[in-house]
Structure 1
Amino acid sequence: MNVVPVAAGANTAAQESSTGQSNLVDYNSFLKLLVTQMKNQDPTKPMESTDYIAQLATFSQVEQTLQTNTKLEQLMQLSLLGQADAIIGRTVSSADGTVSGKVDEVRIGSNGMVAILENGTEFPVGPGIVIS
Structure 2
Amino acid sequence: MNVDMTTTIPAGASQKADPKSKTSVDYNSFLRLLVAQLKNQDPTQPMDSTQYVAQLATFSQVEQAVQSNAKLDQILQSSALSQADSIIGRSITSADGVTTGTVAEVRLASSGLIAILGDGTEIPVGPGVTVKPAG
Aligned match of 2:55: 55
Give the superposition deviation at 1:120: 3.6
Stretch moving more, 94-103 or 81-90: 94-103
CA distance in 1, matches of 2:65, 2:74: 14
SS of the residue 1:68 aligns to: helix
Aligned match of 2:3: none
Q: Quick one: which amino acid aligns to residue 73 of structure 2? A: E
Structure 2's unaligned 5+ residue stretches are 1-17
SS of the residue 1:104 aligns to: strand
Cα offsets for 1:4-51 (capped at 9, x unmatched): xxxxxxxxxxxxxxx834322221221122122222222221111111
| RMSD of aligned alpha carbons | 2.0
- The number of residues matched between the two structures is 114
SS of the residue 2:23 aligns to: coil
Q: What TM-score do you get using the length of structure 1 for normalisation?
A: 0.73
Correspondence 1:33 to 2:33: yes
CA distance in 1, matches of 2:120, 2:45: 73
Query: Which one has the largest radius of gyration?
Result: 2
Q: What TM-score do you get using the length of structure 2 for normalisation?
A: 0.72
Report % sequence identity. 61
Q: Quick one: which amino acid aligns to residue 70 of structure 2? A: T
Aligned match of 2:109: 109
User: More helix per residue: 1 or 2?
Assistant: 1
CA distance in 2, matches of 1:127, 1:97: 12
Stretch moving more, 103-112 or 79-88: 103-112
Rate the CA distance shift 1:91–1:30 in 2: closer, same or farther, 3 A.
same
SS of the residue 2:89 aligns to: coil
Rate the CA distance shift 1:110–1:24 in 2: closer, same or farther, 3 A.
closer
1:23-102 matched pairs, under 5 angstroms: 23-102=23-102
CA distance in 1, matches of 2:89, 2:100: 13
Give the superposition deviation at 1:111: 4.1
> Of the two structures, which has the highest relative contact order with CA contacts closer than 8 Å and spacing of 6 or more?
1
Cα offsets for 1:53-101 (capped at 9, x unmatched): 1111111111111111111111111111111111112111234443222
CA distance in 2, matches of 1:69, 1:110: 15
